[in-house]
């Protein structure tokens, strides 16, 4: 089994055929998908989508692009995270490449999400682009220890510092691009037990699908390239990245029968029910103890 730890099933490129997208992922051996929120409205839709599919879970949060459009308070994020299908907080972070929101607003949004993740005892889903120094500074100042650097394509320093405080590294289709040798060199040095795979679909389709809308089924291609980089089998990458996912996203049940489902029909995807607060005690055994590295340096041997 593989896990697509980061996709956007509610984005317009995928939403019209959401049931088909999920079915193709299942056929490809993808056993879990996490559909990621980027706005308050997305957070509501992501929960509704996750309710419709046993193997789809979701996050709640506001992307840095939207940091100045709406304030999602710590208390509101934590309240939303009570829902049993919400397994992470984000995506959040800093984006200095597009700079669509003022940097101060991005930082305050990031800090709120870190505090919410700490209170909800859920992993943080971190977006960082051209913002390595500030990302590291804020994570350390607020004391983040549990989370993932999603769609990693940054410099080595962010990988080193992220691993040192206990974060995981998630790779997307970018890993397969011809011009991504520097990224492949960094990933080669990341411990195998700290790696996740994702699609970030509908974006960043891996080779040979580049230029087409991406979907969760394509995570298999990224996993194969990761296996080649690490010098292990595809099956070993699937096993290890799946184990890593469940270790970090520990609220996500390993057995789907353990989830108190509200609905099961894949065919009724368009008939969304309003998410309700359901009391749920997430399995949480000190993320810091589970994930913290001992100052792991990404040195080449």
Residue 115 lies in a domain: yes
* Lowest pLDDT segment from 140-154, 237-251, 259-273: 259-273
Question: Which tens digit of pLDDT belongs to each residue from 99-109?
Answer: 999 999 999 99
pLDDT over 70 percentage in the chain: 85
Report residue 36 CA to chain centroid gap: 7
The DSSP symbol for 201 reads B
Q: Does position 129 have pLDDT exceeding 60, yes or no? A: yes
Q: Is residue 272 part of a domain?
A: no
Report if residue 52 sits inside a domain. yes
Q: pLDDT digit string (tens) for 57-78?
A: 999 999 999 999 989 999 999 9
Residue 300, in any domain of the structure:
no
| 262 in a structural domain | no
Query: Which helix (DSSP H) or strand (DSSP E) does residue 2 occupy?
Result: strand 2-7
pLDDT at 70: 83
Range of the domain at 76: 2-254
The residues pairing with 128 across neighbouring beta strands, listed in sequence order, are 94
Per-residue CA distances from 181 to 35, 175, 280 (Å): 28, 8, 43
- The per-type count for the chain, helices as H runs and strands as E runs, is 10, 8
| pLDDT tens column, 164-196 | 999 999 999 999 999 999 999 999 999 999 999
Segment 252-276, tens digit of pLDDT: 999 996 555 444 333 333 333 332 3
Length of the chain (residues): 301
Count: domains in the chain: 1
Q: Tell me the whole-structure pTM to 2 decimals.
A: 0.87
CATH of the domain at 137: 3.20.20.140
Q: Mean pLDDT of all residues in the chain?
A: 88
Whether the predicted pLDDT of 284 surpasses 70: no
Q: What is the pLDDT at residue 269?
A: 37
Is residue 125, in this structure, part of any structural domain at all?
Answer: yes
Whether residue 78 is contained in a domain is answered as: yes
Q: With respect to residue 281, please indicate whether it lies within any of the assigned structural domains.
A: no
């Amino acid at each position: 089994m593989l896990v697509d730890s980061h996709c956007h099933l509610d984005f317009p490129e995928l939403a019209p055929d959401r049931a088909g997208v999920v079915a193709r992922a299942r056929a490809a051996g993808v056993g879990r998908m996490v559909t990621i929120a980027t706005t308050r409205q997305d957070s509501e839709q992501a929960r509704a989508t996750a309710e419709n599919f046993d193997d789809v879970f979701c996050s709640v949060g506001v992307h840095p692009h939207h940091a100045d459009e709406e304030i999602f308070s710590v208390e509101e994020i934590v309240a939303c995270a009570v829902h049993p299908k919400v397994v992470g907080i984000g995506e959040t972070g800093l984006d200095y490449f597009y700079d669509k929101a003022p940097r101060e607003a991005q930082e305050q949004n990031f800090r709120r999400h870190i505090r919410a993740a700490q209170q909800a005892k859920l992993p943080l889903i971190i977006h960082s682009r051209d913002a390595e120094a500030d990302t590291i500074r804020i994570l350390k100042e607020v004391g983040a220890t549990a989370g993932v650097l999603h769609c990693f394509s940054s410099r080595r320093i962010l990988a080193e510092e992220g691993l040192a405080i206990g974060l995981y590294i998630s790779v997307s289709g970018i890993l397969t691009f011809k011009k991504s040798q520097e990224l492949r060199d960094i990933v080669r040095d990341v411990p195998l037990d700290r790696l996740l795979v994702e699609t970030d679909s509908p974006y960043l389709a891996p080779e040979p699908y580049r230029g087409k809308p991406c979907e969760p089924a394509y995570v298999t291609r990224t996993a194969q390239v990761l296996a080649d980089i690490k010098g292990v089998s595809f099956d070993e990458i699937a096993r290890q990245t799946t184990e890593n996912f469940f270790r970090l996203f520990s609220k996500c049940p390993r057995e789907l029968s353990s989830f108190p489902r509200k609905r099961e029909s894949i065919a009724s995807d368009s008939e969304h029910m309003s998410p309700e607060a359901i009391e749920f005690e997430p399995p949480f055994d000190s993320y810091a103890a589970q994930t913290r590295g001992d100052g792991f340096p990404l040195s080449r041997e």
